[in-house]
A and B are shown apart, each in its own frame.
Chain A
Amino acid sequence: MIWQALADGILTGAVIALGAIGVSFTLQIMRFANFSHAELLTWGAYVTMVFVAFAGPGSPTSGLSFGWQMMAALSLAAFLTGLTAWALDRVLFRRLRHRGAQHMTLVFASFGAALVLRHLIVLIWGHDSRFYTRELQMTIEVFPGVRVLPDQVFILLVALVVLTALHLFLRFSRTGIAMRATAENPALAQCCGMEVDKVIRATWIIGGALAAAAGVFTGLTPQVNPDVGHQLLLPLFAAAILGGIGSLAGAVVGGLLVGIAENVLLLVVSPGYKQAMSFMLLLVVLLVRPQGIFGERKEGDR
């Protein structure tokens, strides 16, 4: 039982990590909690759904419930969702930033944006649950007593590849280095000639694209509905803060811990309280170590 919960936790945790990266970077680079980030997961899932409706999920290959078409659809949707995130910044958050609004005004604005984004989905696609594919999958036993779906293994692998690529990008590319510098100290980065606008654009596009991937992966197991993103809001924030904001490794470790904690706690707590688990974890982290695992203690962290 515990091993199964652990495996499930790692699988959901990897997806949460993908979604949490955007939350974490926005918190660190733009210094506000973006409540609308979770809706980008939903948008990514639905845009992918549109492409899949045109092209089909592809013929199942090597035990998966979909073919390469699905991944092509996902890549396109990730790109579009990244652009959407950036467009949202242009029409909303950037205006408020340039006006010198308090950062809490940005949080309000993100509340409003979250409402609009989520209900636009209801308006366009309705409330019904949708499926990428009707293909049935058999679980495979990876360890004695631990069964997972082939799709889940694939998702974990894709997540690992994406995270490694992002790590290399942040480590070596000019934009990546500028992002890390701005996260560390925005004023100093600007003095050193970093183009803050460019950094902000990269942050939105990367965060949005990863959110789309997280949304699709959540939707693959097993369904998409207008609330998929919203229901991950607390886990995303819990993961970002638990790991330490602005840190890629932090978001990954945070995501995995949140995923594992949720699934292991479900062994002892009634599933009705599932949504409260990540919140409880978040509360404990904020009280015990508000800077997170990988964060450095700073003035005003709490």
Chain B
Amino acid sequence: MSGLVSYLIFFACIVMILGIVTIGLNLQWGFTGIFNAGVVGFYAIGGYTQAILTAAPAAGHLGNFGLPWIVGIAAAMVVTGLAAWLIGWITIGLRDDYLAITSFGIAVTIQLVTLNWSELTGGPNGLTRIARPLASVFDTPAAFNLWFLVLLVLVTAAVYTALERMLQSPWGRVLRAIREDELAAVSLGKSARNFRLQAFVIGSMLMGLAGALYVSFIGFVSPFDFLPIFTFQVWAMLIVGGSGNNRGALLGALVVWSIWTASGVAVTKFVPPSFAAQGAAVQVILIGLALILVLIYRPRGLLGERAMVSRHADS
């Protein structure tokens, strides 16, 4: 029984982290219409910043500064934000499917850096002994996971509330205006480029935050935590949950991660180990099918965006 409870806590932690990433993507795609196909790249920048700054010092590493956890989290957001600003400054004006290819390529490049720049990133072996918040207070795995879940609930709630407020504000209305009709928004004197860049940077910072949280939750990091499939999973979460709706984004994270985990459990239970690769393939096929079926049969996703019409529209 306690095994199941502790597993559920772990599961909930991962869902929260994925939920933060999905909310970040929702800001970019759902509200602003920026196609970021390199989600995993920004997640990785956050994760590696956290790891490099807070991992316990080790010989032969450029990083591993052993700094406190909270410094890592703050730095992860700043570094991811700067990287997103630089990348966005170059690419944000591209037409959307070219932006998709470009951002996909950026994520590939970032993963190659994590694999090849071993002095900094530990190469394929990754980095270990990364700072975990208050690990000395909550010194059993169960207690730590529970405490981390509480922490994640607070962070997710804060992110959610802050974003909802921003989206209700004039700033959020401009984003939607740009998404719906860029020309009209520009003709009202709004710089589409600046607003898109802002949304891109803030969304990416959330992905970086989530990456840093993930790494400090697990305690180690390797390039194999940041495979391209992650981007597809997050996209599936957003599309299934309903893009343009932050609650949909969170729900999508829960639903898609449940499908992923449940199919993973089923595979390990029922598929003989010699067919493990095939079993893992079934998991990915399910995610791909979920994405396709939702696009065909329920394009708005489970929740979908709430219609925003002026209350004077009827009269």
| Contact in complex: A32, B97 (CB < 8 Å) | yes
| Contact in complex: A108, B239 (CB < 8 Å) | yes
Q: Does B273 contact A (CB under 8 A)?
A: no
In the complex, chain A residues whose CB is within 8 Å of the CB of B90: 283, 287
Q: Does B109 contact A (CB under 8 A)?
A: yes
Q: Does B251 contact A (CB under 8 A)?
A: no
Interface size, B (range): 35 or more
In the complex, chain B residues whose CB is within 8 Å of the CB of A279: 102, 105-106, 108-109
Q: Does B285 contact A (CB under 8 A)?
A: yes
| Contact in complex: B232, A95 (CB < 8 Å) | no
| Residue of B with least CB distance to A120 | B285
| Contact in complex: A123, B282 (CB < 8 Å) | yes
Q: Does B104 contact A (CB under 8 A)?
A: yes
Residue pairs across A and B with CB atoms within 8 Å: the count is 128
In the complex, chain B residues whose CB is within 8 Å of the CB of A96: 295-296
Q: Given known contacts A105-B299, A270-B116, A290-B94, is B292 in contact with A276 (CB within 8 Å)?
A: no
Cα–Cα, bound, A11→B292 (Å): 36
Q: Does A51 contact B (CB under 8 A)?
A: no
In the complex, chain B residues whose CB is within 8 Å of the CB of A112: 232, 236, 288-289, 291-292, 295
> Smallest distance from the beta carbon of A243 to chain B beta carbons, Å?
14
In the complex, chain B residues whose CB is within 8 Å of the CB of A276: 105, 108-109, 112
Instruction: Find residues 87-124 in chain B having any chain A CB closer than 8 Å to their own CB.
Output: 90-91, 93-98, 100-102, 104-106, 108-109, 112, 115-116
Chain A interface mostly helix, strand, loop or mixed?
helix
Cα–Cα, bound, A127→B284 (Å): 14
Cα–Cα, bound, A222→B289 (Å): 32
| Residue of A with least CB distance to B231 | A111
> Smallest distance from the beta carbon of A146 to chain B beta carbons, Å?
29
Cα–Cα, bound, A101→B93 (Å): 23
Cα–Cα, bound, A120→B117 (Å): 33
| Contact in complex: A275, B295 (CB < 8 Å) | no
| Contact in complex: B35, A104 (CB < 8 Å) | yes
Cα–Cα, bound, A120→B102 (Å): 26
Q: Does B278 contact A (CB under 8 A)?
A: yes
In the complex, chain A residues whose CB is within 8 Å of the CB of B281: 119-120, 122-123
| Residue of B with least CB distance to A95 | B296
Q: Given known contacts A123-B281, A300-B95, is B292 in contact with A92 (CB within 8 Å)?
A: yes
Q: Does B308 contact A (CB under 8 A)?
A: no
Cα–Cα, bound, A264→B188 (Å): 49
> Smallest distance from the beta carbon of A124 to chain B beta carbons, Å?
8
Q: Scan B24-43; emit 1 where CB is below 8 A from any A CB, else 0.
A: 00000000000101000000
| Contact in complex: A116, B292 (CB < 8 Å) | yes
Q: Scan B244-282; emit 1 where CB is below 8 A from any A CB, else 0.
A: 000000000000000000000000000000000110111
Cα–Cα, bound, A107→B35 (Å): 10
Cα–Cα, bound, A14→B96 (Å): 28
Q: Scan A105-149; emit 1 where CB is below 8 A from any B CB, else 0.
A: 101110111111011101100110000000000000000000000
| Contact in complex: A92, B108 (CB < 8 Å) | no
Q: Scan A236-257; emit 1 where CB is below 8 A from any B CB, else 0.
A: 0100010000000000000000
In the complex, chain B residues whose CB is within 8 Å of the CB of A290: 94, 98
Q: Given known contacts A108-B291, A112-B295, is B232 in contact with A282 (CB within 8 Å)?
A: no
| Contact in complex: B97, A119 (CB < 8 Å) | no
Cα–Cα, bound, A122→B95 (Å): 33
Q: Given known contacts A122-B277, A272-B116, is B102 in contact with A286 (CB within 8 Å)?
A: yes
In the complex, chain A residues whose CB is within 8 Å of the CB of B229: 115
| Contact in complex: B115, A115 (CB < 8 Å) | no
In the complex, chain A residues whose CB is within 8 Å of the CB of B96: 104, 107
Cα–Cα, bound, A115→B289 (Å): 9
| Residue of A with least CB distance to B29 | A104
| Contact in complex: A115, B299 (CB < 8 Å) | no
Task: Pick from A35, A120, A233, A302: contact of B93, CB below 8 A.
Answer: A302
Binding site for A on B (CB under 8 A): 35, 37, 90-91, 93-98, 100-102, 104-106, 108-109, 112, 115-116, 229, 232, 235-236, 239, 277-278, 280-282, 284-285, 287-289, 291-292, 295-296, 299
Q: List 13 A-B contacts (CB under 8 A).
A: A92-B292, A96-B296, A105-B295, A109-B295, A109-B296, A112-B295, A114-B288, A119-B284, A233-B104, A234-B104, A283-B90, A300-B95, A302-B94
Q: Which 8 A-B pairs have the closest CB atoms?
A: A115-B288, A279-B105, A33-B97, A112-B291, A122-B281, A272-B116, A116-B288, A119-B281
